[in-house]
Amino acid sequence: MIKQSKNPNAMANYKISGPDAKITDGVLRSDRFKDIYFSSENGLAEARHVFVEGTNLAALLNSNDHLVIAETGFGTGLNFLAVMDLVEKSATNCTIDYISFEAYPLDKELAFEARKPFSELQRNSILLKKLWPENWACAHHRLFLQDRIHLHLHYGDALLEMKQLNFKANIWFLDGFSPAKNKELWTENMFTQISRLSASKATIASFSVAALVKDGLRKVGFKLEKKRGFGKKREMLTGYYTAGLSRYYSHSDKKVIIIGAGIAGASIAHGLRATNIAHIVVEASETIASGASGNPIGLQGPQLMAAPHPSMQMSLACFSYARELALKHGVVLHKGLISLHYPEKQGKRQKKMAEQEWPNELVEEASSRQLSQIANLAIEQDGFFQSAGQLIDPSKFTKKMLNDSEVLTGVSISSLVKRKGRWELTTTAGSILTATDIVLCTGAGLPKFLEKFTLPSLNLQVTSGQLSFLPKNTTLNNLSVGLQFGGYLTPMINGKQVLGASFDLSATTQVTQRGHNYNISLLPDALQKHILDIDQLQGRVSKRLASQDRWPLVGDWHDTIHLFSALGSRGLTNAPLLGLIFRNQKLP
Ligand SMILES: Cc1cc2nc3c(=O)[nH]c(=O)nc-3n(C[C@H](O)[C@H](O)[C@H](O)COP(=O)(O)OP(=O)(O)OC[C@H]3O[C@@H](n4cnc5c(N)ncnc54)[C@H](O)[C@@H]3O)c2cc1C
Ligand SMILES: C[S@@+](CC[C@H](N)C(=O)[O-])C[C@H]1O[C@@H](n2cnc3c(N)ncnc32)[C@H](O)[C@@H]1O
């Protein structure tokens, strides 16, 4: 469980405690709750009987193109695998959002071990182990079965997490430990949240027929029925929700035009593909990732904060997802990042964080001597080693994410009008594209786009960022890990060592000596002196877009024109997940 504090000055604590679980006599037991994770007779048969059949999942899969399943207590993920197995075996096109809550995440090896008796699930059990989230207090998102099943795994107390969410579940699996052993998960407040988050006719199942469960669920609008329980259990509970709005929807009439083929456009396309929403990407330049997303090397890492803040959880969730996706697409160039206690402001913040509890792979304090060893370069500052951070190939990442989408490159829009509820876009090549929705992913091109089509304007900041490519004759070439110090320096990868990145308000597109000098000035003095041939530096300039408050612009803007822009200097980490959840929120 994540330690939460009501004191605003409290130190952040992003460590999650475990469940004290172990396998005894072939069954996984929690010492904390003095209860078992699933039936000692046959956990898979129980999952199928109680949850899969109890909620009528097979029939719902055949009559819907999208379902939301919500579960209290992810545990080993056995229920999730039972669902995946059924989807795989059914002739259904239904896509699923599987939202689960877990306050005491299991170690992935132990969860895998506990699932081992169910050999028919072995292939997907191995996959789940591979994609098992890091032990970070945030929501983790993973895609399965060619992106048809989207697992949203919230590491945190189910009630606290639910209160912050808005979804409409079609199916509920109530699978916390028994109410007698874990009252927390079966309170009136919990039933109120379940009701708030239920779609009309949502089905529900639980192994427990305790009076407090029956009464609690009836009170908030469920019609219940007792059925034969699994194995030695005489009874179980099933039912459906009698109130609520229907969220069984069809995407069949949606068609989306995405403008811009950088990481933002690619992330929206990736999200739409997962729910089979028709879309096309229009890119003005001749190639994908010609803007900021076309830099040769980029960092993926979370924005860590010393003070507790909800955005921290979002940043971790984005990082967890983007990191996994980059690995899946084979675009990781290098693993591990160092973040120096430098410059002074960053040093102060990081030293405060060092006194807090963090997962080791995010914040591992290290002395200058240890960092020098890791970096293979003499470093004078202490700092953090982040083994979870990584360097990626941004352009390859963007291209991979667009692989299965139709992209028109070298195409600009010359007119944009709405006729009979649909947008009509005329391209410079003379063709007409129609859509129900448009998503503007134009990066720094957004202000001009809004002006050209007389759309409402926004207060935006365009800056150019120059990267300097170091010559191959400096001691800095020895660097063996990504280094952050206000700016960043990468190792030499595929013949390029990148130092970045300037913030130039003049938004120039030229590589300048001024830009190189700025980048060098970001380095700690002792490292600056290694760069001798300043006039031999080469570089690349691209533009960033930021909103006034520096938050990304994600959502409805004007009519059915949506924005996914202003990703600032963290687009490579934040865009993939924001793009994935965008389609749930904005294109229902
Ligand atoms: C120097 C520099 C270094 C950076 N380093 C990192 C890093 O290490 N890690 C990190 O996470 N982030 C980093 N960033 C930020 C990251 O690169 C951006 O947040 C991200 O690339 C923005 O993606 P985007 O798709 O919004 O914009 P872009 O990648 O710029 O894509 C916008 C696309 O829209 C197209 N377009 C524009 N107007 C139109 C139009 N009218 N019609 C059709 N197409 C149009 C453009 O041609 C372009 O292809 C860096 C940024 C810079 C500038
Ligand atoms: C019976 S097990 C769930 C078994 C699981 N569905 C499976 O397939 O393995 C109950 C789970 O609920 C979790 N849990 C207990 N209290 C919780 C809470 N307040 N919030 C979220 N999860 C909780 C436990 O850590 C445990 O993993």
Q: Yes or no: say if 10 and 312 are a contact pair by the CB < 8 Å rule.
A: no
For the cut 90, the answer to whether the pLDDT of residue 460 exceeds it is yes
In a domain, 113, yes or no: yes
For the cut 50, the answer to whether the pLDDT of residue 588 exceeds it is no
In a domain, 1, yes or no: no
Among residues 241, 264, 282, the one where a domain terminates is: 241
Please identify, by atom number, the ligand 1 atom nearest to the C-alpha of residue 541: 1
Task: Look at strands 139-144 and 149-155 and give their pairing.
Answer: antiparallel
Same domain, 388 and 416: no
26: left (phi over 0), alpha (psi -120 to 50) or beta: left
In a domain, 13, yes or no: no
Same domain, 196 and 271: no
pLDDT score for 3 = 39
The alpha carbon of 445 and the centre of ligand 1 are apart by a number of angstroms equal to 9
Give the count of domains, the chain.
3
In a domain, 569, yes or no: yes
Distance in angstroms (rounded) separating the CA atoms of residues 390 and 376: 17
Q: Any residues with Cβ below 6 Å from ligand 2, and which?
A: 19, 37-38, 73-79, 101-104, 157-158, 175-177, 182, 184-185
Same domain, 211 and 344: no
Q: What is the pLDDT of residues 476-502, one digit of tens each?
A: 999 999 999 999 999 999 999 999 999
In a domain, 6, yes or no: no
Same domain, 440 and 511: no
**Range(s) of the domain holding residue 378:** 299-392+461-547
Same domain, 310 and 417: no
Handedness of CA 472, 475, 477, 478 (dihedral sign): positive
Same domain, 267 and 379: no
- Give the CATH number for residue 310: 3.30.9.10
Same domain, 102 and 200: yes
Instruction: For ligand 2, pick from 32, 118, 177, 183 the residue to mutate: most ligand atoms within 8 Å of CB.
Output: 177
What tokens were used for 271?
A: 């999200």
Closest residue CA from atom 48 of ligand 1 = 291
Same domain, 211 and 159: yes
**φ, ψ dihedrals at 292, nearest 5°:** -60, -30
Grade residue 125 by pLDDT with cuts at 50, 70 and 90: very high
Nearest to 282 by CA among 396, 392, 374, 413: 413
**φ, ψ dihedrals at 515, nearest 5°:** -60, -45
Q: What is the pLDDT of residues 58-101, one digit of tens each?
A: 999 999 989 999 999 999 999 999 999 999 999 899 999 999 99
The CA-CA-CA angle for residues 499, 503, 505, to 5°, reads 150
The alpha carbon of 384 and the centre of ligand 1 are apart by a number of angstroms equal to 28
Same domain, 384 and 406: no
Distance in angstroms (rounded) separating the CA atoms of residues 134 and 188: 31
Distance in angstroms (rounded) separating the CA atoms of residues 381 and 404: 45
Q: In 341-479, which residue ranges form alpha helices assigned H by DSSP?
A: 344-354, 368-375, 394-402, 446-452
In a domain, 541, yes or no: yes
Amino acid type, 485: F
Same domain, 229 and 113: yes
> Facing residues of 198 across strands?
169
Same domain, 566 and 444: yes
Distance in angstroms (rounded) separating the CA atoms of residues 126 and 476: 41
What tokens were used for 98?
A: 């599987």
pTM of the model: 0.89
Same domain, 410 and 518: no
Distance in angstroms (rounded) separating the CA atoms of residues 229 and 235: 4
In a domain, 248, yes or no: no
